Amino acid sequence: MNLSKKIKDKKEKISVIGLGYVGLPLAVGFAEKADVIAFDINSSKVEKYKKGIDVTKEAGDQAVKESTAFFTADENKLKEAKFHIVAVPTPITKDKNPDLSIVKSASKTVGRNLTKDSIVVYESTVYPGVTEEICIPILEEESGLQCGKDFKVGYSPERINPGDQVHRLNTIVKVVSGMDQESLDEIAAVYEMVVDAGVYKAESIKVAEAAKVIENSQRDINIAFMNELSVIFNKLDIDTKAVLKAAGTKWNFLNFRPGLVGGHCIGVDPYYLTYKAEQTGYHSQIILSGRKINDNMGKYTAEQTVKKMIAANKQIKGSKVAVFGITFKENCPDVRNTKVVDLINELKEYEVEVDIIDPVADQEDLKAVYDLKTTEKEKINDSDALIFAVAHDQFKEYQLAELRDLYYQDGNTDNDGYVLIDVKGIFKKDKAEAENYLYWRL
């Protein structure tokens, strides 16, 4: 086939389908070495990329502006490419089952524009079997071509860590797989063009799919353990962060921290694995238990906030709480599947008014997905409690003294402290308590 050489020589093109937090860095990265067609069905997003505006903040405005990638919402342009990379979201439904509608739709789009002697590589997180059992039949039906004869398929799990400026596309080992040895070698050669850390050739597509889905499941379970410890230590009136700091002096202690675990990977991937397990008749014991704990932490944090407000003699109904951070992780605009929304919704159940402050969050997605909007910190001056839910770098620059101006001030001597909920431990506990803050953290 020798497609990889033709791509290197710019005699054939690469297409990237889906220009989000994974697809955009891929498109920009490959465009440094090859001709790239960067496709997304969201025409408004494509127009922003054309203007050099990186809505994901992953590649950066300058890199997008200078990129030679051809940004388009016209699927017909995909016919010009021979190597297709599908990097679309794979979320879950409301009842926690895999939602493959987007990857199926993307497969139809690629299939309609697939030509002979092409390779299609999926990067979307799926359970083992999706690529071969679901995606390939769609590609064949839409294209009228035969997989194995007219085109080849592979899977290379995405490992992009949104907001991480250290672990990037080129510095993370890339797992690749193909339906046969020829496709495996070609896919590996193409990714080696941009991945300095090298590639790892998995034994099969299913092995690569499984490797991806367990990476985040493992992390999810470890954080769930820390969250459960925080609940226990809270009942024992022991500071969890202090315990973890002490335990961390042992060389083999795993450095995980409690928190609100959401996002489009770690809060989703475990359900993909357990869904497939259920189909084999096996009911997960550990994985679902961990996810249950993590899914409940938003509600738990809201309950602890209310308890602290009561301790401060605050009227709960009609009170105001300012929540700092709405994204699923620090320094990242992505709000998909953020567990901070669970915290906010629980507070609203108590009839608490909530203001959201987040200079990093994608405002369009926040409105479209949750019908929420943020406000500016400067407009906050009558809060009954502050919750720092996400550890953005900007928030770490705040001083305890300046936070006082954000609270409701009426000279009420019954106010037994300023309620400060510090989910990720941004501030120092002893200093906060010394300055009359009713302080709590996971």
**Residues known to be catalytic:** 265
The answer to whether the beta carbons of residues 21 and 56 sit under 8 Å apart is yes
Give the single-character DSSP code of 260. -
CA-to-CA distance for 65 and 355, rounded, in angstroms? 35
Q: 């297409």: which residue's tokens?
A: 15
**φ and ψ at 241, to 5 degrees?**
-60, -40
Pure H helices in 371-427: 393-396, 400-403
3-class DSSP state of 399: coil
240 CA to centre of own chain? 25
The answer to whether the beta carbons of residues 119 and 151 sit under 8 Å apart is yes
4 CA to centre of own chain? 30
CA-to-CA distance for 302 and 297, rounded, in angstroms? 9
Please name every residue paired with 353 in a beta bridge, in sequence order, or none if there are none. 320
CA-to-CA distance for 241 and 227, rounded, in angstroms? 11
Residue 43's nearest CA partner among 66, 90, 82, 75 is 75
CA-to-CA distance for 151 and 149, rounded, in angstroms? 6
Amino acid at 224: A
Q: What DSSP string runs through 31-67?
A: HTTS-EEEE-S-HHHHHHHHTT--TTSSS-HHHHHH-
CA-to-CA distance for 260 and 275, rounded, in angstroms? 23
